[in-house]
Amino acid sequence: MLAKGSWRLVTDDHTLWTEVIKNKYARSRDGLEILTKAKGSSFAWRNFASVLDVVKKCYVFNISNGRRAKFWTDPWVLQVPLAELAITKIDADKLHSRVADYWDADQGWKVEEFESVMPSSIITKIRAVMVDPLAAEDDRPIWNLTSTGKFTASSACRSLVPQSSDQQTIWQKVWKLQVPERVRMFIWMTMKGKLTTNAIRKYRHLTHDDSCPECEGLPETHLHCLRDCEITKRVWRNVVPSESQSEFFNCNYETWVMSNVANDSQGNGRGNWASYFILVLWYI
């Protein structure tokens, strides 16, 4: 569920962390593709995959030797993959071709292989890219929401921040809280209702069963996962002052997240309530 993790899965093939994730969830070991193919059903994986949707929309490949980026299905000329800009459907067997497959070391671009399916304006843009087949360095994905090209979860979130001023104000508060960036990312997802619960999976026809795996029968909604499930309820009962519990457990999801995130009160020696609330939410 961590945006940074998703990004590393895209950019770094060799970290231990990546290996663990790949071995655990993925069937193919081939960069981004594993993320669309993998079908884990754990809560963590489902959310990880939905952050990935954000990540995937926000990078382009910087072409070097052309051996890593896929010509049709990775973004490298523009922010969208060429397959989406093609005038006709691309043959399935070509979808996995790399950029280098369309480059001749002596002649440059093999334009004849794609000119009949691409608009001429795009062909001009392709021609402006040079491939260096002898380069040792692979094509590199560049995060395009920051000036440095380095990934940050905050830029990922800001690109999708809700426009309503209430939410914006609350979001600014979240941003100032002293919590790790991955926690902020998680809060953003909860605020936007982006956690992939079984209720949402059922709505999307991904499952017939929307019930919580812990408490059979009850639908696994956001509110259920994060507040009302028997297990999470026990955690909250321990940390929410008893005089506030009735209010805490009796409001709808949006009000619940917003009011707690906006609550600056200091108390019980735990520092700022909002930070504390968010950290507990994260550990749940």
Which structure tokens are listed for 275? 């930070």
Residue 199 interacting with Zn ion (CB under 5 A): no
Which structure tokens are listed for 166? 């209430």
What is the distance between the alpha carbons of residues 25 and 37, in angstroms, rounded to a whole number? 9
Q: b/e map of 201-221 (b: 16 or more CB within 10 Å)?
A: bbeeeeeeebbbeeeeeeebb
Nearest residue (CB) to Zn ion, 70 versus 222: 222
34, 123, 161, 215: which one contacts Zn ion (CB under 5 A)?
215
32, 212, 278, 280: which one contacts Zn ion (CB under 5 A)?
212
Residue 195 interacting with Zn ion (CB under 5 A): no
Nearest residue (CB) to Zn ion, 165 versus 252: 252
Residue 209 interacting with Zn ion (CB under 5 A): no
Task: Specify whether the CB–CB gap between 210 and 199 falls below 8 A.
Answer: yes
Q: Which stretch binds Zn ion (CB under 5 A): 25-33, 127-135, 212-220, 252-260?
A: 212-220
φ/ψ (deg, to 5) at 92: -60, -35
Q: Which stretch binds Zn ion (CB under 5 A): 132-140, 164-172, 227-235, 271-279?
A: 227-235
Residue 165's SS3 state is helix
Residue 58 interacting with Zn ion (CB under 5 A): no
Residue 197 C-beta: closest distance to Zn ion, Å: 10
Residue 63 interacting with Zn ion (CB under 5 A): no
Long-range interactions of 156-162: CB distance < 8 A, separation 24+: 156/3, 156/51, 156/54, 156/55, 156/58, 156/185, 157/184, 157/185, 157/188, 159/54, 159/58, 160/54, 160/188, 160/192, 161/188, 162/191, 162/192
Nearest residue (CB) to Zn ion, 85 versus 235: 235
- Work out the number of other CB atoms within 10 angstroms of the CB of residue 145: 17
Which structure tokens are listed for 141? 């994905």
Residue 84 interacting with Zn ion (CB under 5 A): no
Residue 214 interacting with Zn ion (CB under 5 A): yes
Beta strands in 118-245 (DSSP E): 140-143
- Work out the number of other CB atoms within 10 angstroms of the CB of residue 125: 15
Residue 190 C-beta: closest distance to Zn ion, Å: 16
Number of residues that bind Zn ion (CB under 5 A): 4
Residue 195 C-beta: closest distance to Zn ion, Å: 14
Nearest residue (CB) to Zn ion, 56 versus 227: 227
Q: Which stretch binds Zn ion (CB under 5 A): 13-21, 57-65, 132-140, 221-229?
A: 221-229
Residue 52 interacting with Zn ion (CB under 5 A): no
Residue 21 interacting with Zn ion (CB under 5 A): no
Q: Which stretch binds Zn ion (CB under 5 A): 12-20, 32-40, 215-223, 266-274?
A: 215-223
Which structure tokens are listed for 55? 């990540």
55, 229, 257, 279: which one contacts Zn ion (CB under 5 A)?
229
Q: Which residues bind Zn ion (CB under 5 A)?
A: 212, 214-215, 229
